[in-house]
Amino acid sequence: MSEERPVIRLEHVSKTFEGETVLRDVCLDIHNGEFLTILGPSGCGKTTLLRLIAGFESPTDGDVIIDGRSMRDVPPNGRKVNTVFQSYALFPHMTVFDNVSFGLRMSKVPEAEIKDRVLQALRMVGLSGQAGRRPGSLSGGQQQRVAIARAVVNRPLVLLLDEPLSALDYKLRIQMRTELKQLRREMGITFIFVTHDQEEAFSMSDRVVVMNEGCVAQVGTPVEVYEQPVNMFVARFVGETNIFEGVAGQIEGGTLHALVEGRKCDLSSRRGFKPGDRIRVLLRPEDLLVEREVPEDDEKLWLPGLITETVYKGSTWDMIVRLDSGNEVLVTEFFDEDAEKMNFQAGERVFVSWFDGWEVVLPHEDDEPV
């Protein structure tokens, strides 16, 4: 895929609003046909990035290249991308049919073809019978579908979606995720989806771009981003994370001899650390193991602690363990047949470890409080 020319390329794009930098030197290639999600907290610049691609804003520095052409000074109506807005932005004075046909009318498509394409688009989003209605008389989910039909009927190279599911209720949101994925597969066009919801991002995307404070923090598949976060921000933003403090020692091959929570421990890491570097060991709650007694002949590091809280969640059992070092960790155990192991109670003394090699070792970032 990477040898192909990217459908969109962002070249060192920066954006400043009245002296405030919103995007800083963003470089990104978006490949044809992929479902790319831009994920980040509010104010990280993700919507601005989308608006730069759509043409509603122009970059202060750098260039947006769509289909091999520089988009400098090309207005939104000259770009082969279409947007689904967060507020849907349906034209209230037009029927559903007129809304969907708007783009085709603007590009002077013959009337007979307009009718075919609009009806086909409405069929695709399951709104065949609603062509004559006004957007105001439709439900939120239906309006959402009209907005999608109105965009895709123009057969854009790329469909831009700006938090389109945020206004829907939970059940509909889950349903729309699946529908969007299917829709993309049917149409084969590139989707760029902006969201602050990591679950949404992970459940739909081929690749995720995590953004923070105007910069791209990490680009990768959902699995890569979740399991191999490149820094503390990404680790914290995508899901729960437990952090153990440590100091690096010697490296031998892929093994890093280190001190974790004051105890000797071997970690696997491909990063280069110098002996004496402060490090952080990150573990997801489901990566942690809890036992009442340290198993015999186990070389792993087992950290003693006290269970302070247990939370039953249906399919999982969460525990908060206060380690003797003072660090509090969250452990998630999945139910299995071995039922008695589950019966941990608050107040029990336990030992915590993790599956070999599941840890992520990052350098200590001083500016980030734990």
CB of 182 to another protein, least distance (A): 24
Phi, psi of 98 (to 5 degrees): -65, -35
CB of 52 to another protein, least distance (A): 13
Question: Per CB under 8 A, does 76 bind another protein?
Answer: yes
Question: Per CB under 8 A, does 270 bind another protein?
Answer: no
Question: Per CB under 8 A, does 93 bind another protein?
Answer: yes
Q: Sketch the per residue contact string, 131 through 160, with another protein: x for CB under 8 A, - otherwise.
A: -------------------xx--x------
- Give the separation between CA 164 and CA 171, rounded to whole angstroms: 14
Q: Which of 25, 31, 67, 89 binds another protein (CB under 8 A)?
A: 89
CB of 144 to another protein, least distance (A): 14
- Other Cβ atoms within 10 Å of 108 Cβ, number: 8
In the complex with another protein, the residue whose CB is nearer, 154 or 212, is 154
CB of 16 to another protein, least distance (A): 16
Total of residues contacting another protein (CB under 8 A): 24
In the complex with another protein, the residue whose CB is nearer, 74 or 172, is 74
Coil, strand, or helix at residue 70?
A: strand
90 close to 145: Cβ distance less than 8 angstroms = no
Q: Is 155 exposed, middle or buried (0-12, 13-18, 19+ CB in 10 A)?
A: middle
Give the distance from CA 282 to its chain's centroid: 19
Q: Which of 92, 110, 314, 326 binds another protein (CB under 8 A)?
A: 92
Question: Per CB under 8 A, does 54 bind another protein?
Answer: yes
- Other Cβ atoms within 10 Å of 89 Cβ, number: 15
CA distances from 158 to 50, 96, 151, 189 (A): 11, 22, 10, 6
State which amino acid sits at residue 123. Answer: R
Q: CA triplet 175, 178, 179: central angle to 5 degrees?
A: 85
Question: Per CB under 8 A, does 43 bind another protein?
Answer: no
Question: Per CB under 8 A, does 75 bind another protein?
Answer: yes
DSSP summary character for residue 87: T
* Residue ranges binding another protein (CB under 8 A): 54-56, 75-77, 81-83, 85-87, 89-93, 102-103, 106-107, 150-151, 154
